[in-house]
């Protein structure tokens, strides 16, 4: 299949992935904010546990970034929704992400690439970061202790958000893992917060906004 061009307005499409079609949702910045030269790809949680581009944390990440003027791209990993293929324990899913990133960079060559991921999506985006070299990486509840994070190479602009009462990802395992890394990062610990940010999505929006707004290209220009 031939990939479509980057859409001029928000909508859904399918891209050619490594093992078949991939469901993609593109959302342009909010109309009342200046558009940033940034495209953020957002990765969803575990495919085998109902994770998809419609996950409420994923959509909140997208909404928050769009409020900052960022164009967002959400997509279904292989085996989810209309995306072809079978679950591949994060390996093939990295290839799916790389295919989406290649399309974004081909279609928006002047835009800066950001990556964001929630849970399993944080694992996949961290694993792919060394090759994709995003300008910014946002990792929400990265499942340290559950998946192999050895050798990851996050960018220098890396925001990590973790709920202190996460019942799926051990918060202390995340904090210990971050302490073991020789990598700069900004950690936001959210008290009384579960894995899926129940009743905490507005707080999550605030944490993301505060964490990334100074990394926006216009913020860089204003401080220059």
Check whether 39 has a pLDDT greater than 80: yes
Give tens-digit pLDDT for 142-200.
999 899 999 999 999 999 999 999 999 999 999 999 999 999 999 999 999 999 999 99
Give the pLDDT confidence score for residue 218 in this predicted structure: 82
Contact 208, 61 (CB under 8 A): yes
What are the start-end ranges of the E strands in the chain? Answer: 11-17, 20-27, 38-43, 71-75, 112-118, 136-140, 158-163, 186-190
Half-sphere exposure (CA, 13 Å, Cβ side) for 132? 31
List of residues 6+ apart from 165 with CB closer than 8 A: 171, 191, 192, 193, 194
Mean pLDDT, residues 49-60: 98
Give tens-digit pLDDT for 202-213.
999 999 999 999
Over pLDDT 90: what percentage of the chain?
Answer: 96
CATH architecture label of 11-223: 3-Layer(aba) Sandwich (3.40)
Give the pLDDT confidence score for residue 224 in this predicted structure: 45
Give the pLDDT confidence score for residue 30 in this predicted structure: 93
Mean pLDDT, residues 12-28: 98
Q: Where along the chain do its domains lie?
A: 11-223
Mean pLDDT, residues 60-75: 98
**Bridge partners (DSSP) listed for residue 204:** none
What are the start-end ranges of the E strands in 53-168? Answer: 71-75, 112-118, 136-140, 158-163
């Amino acid at each position: 299949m031939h990939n479509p061009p980057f859409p001029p307005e928000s909508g859904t499409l399918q891209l050619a992935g490594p093992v078949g079609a991939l469901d993609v949702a593109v959302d342009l910045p909010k109309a009342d904010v200046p558009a940033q030269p940034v495209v953020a790809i957002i990765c969803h949680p575990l495919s085998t546990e109902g994770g998809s581009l419609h996950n409420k944390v994923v959509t909140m990440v997208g909404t928050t970034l769009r409020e900052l003027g960022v164009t967002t791209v959400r997509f279904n990993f292989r085996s989810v929704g209309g995306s072809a293929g079978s679950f591949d324990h994060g390996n093939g899913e990295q290839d799916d992400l790389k295919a989406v990133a290649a399309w974004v960079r081909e279609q928006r060559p002047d835009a800066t690439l950001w990556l964001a991921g929630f849970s399993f999506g944080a694992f996949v985006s961290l694993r792919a970061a060394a090759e994709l070299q995003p300008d910014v990486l946002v990792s929400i509840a990265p499942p340290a202790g559950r998946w192999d994070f050895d050798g990851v190479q996050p960018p220098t602009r890396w925001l990590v958000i973790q709920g202190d009462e996460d019942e799926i990802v051990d918060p202390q395992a995340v904090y210990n893992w971050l302490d073991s890394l020789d990598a700069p990062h900004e950690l936001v610990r959210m008290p009384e917060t579960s894995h899926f940010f129940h009743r905490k999505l507005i707080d999550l929006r605030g944490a993301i906004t505060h964490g990334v707004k100074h990394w926006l290209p216009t913020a860089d220009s204003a401080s220059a």
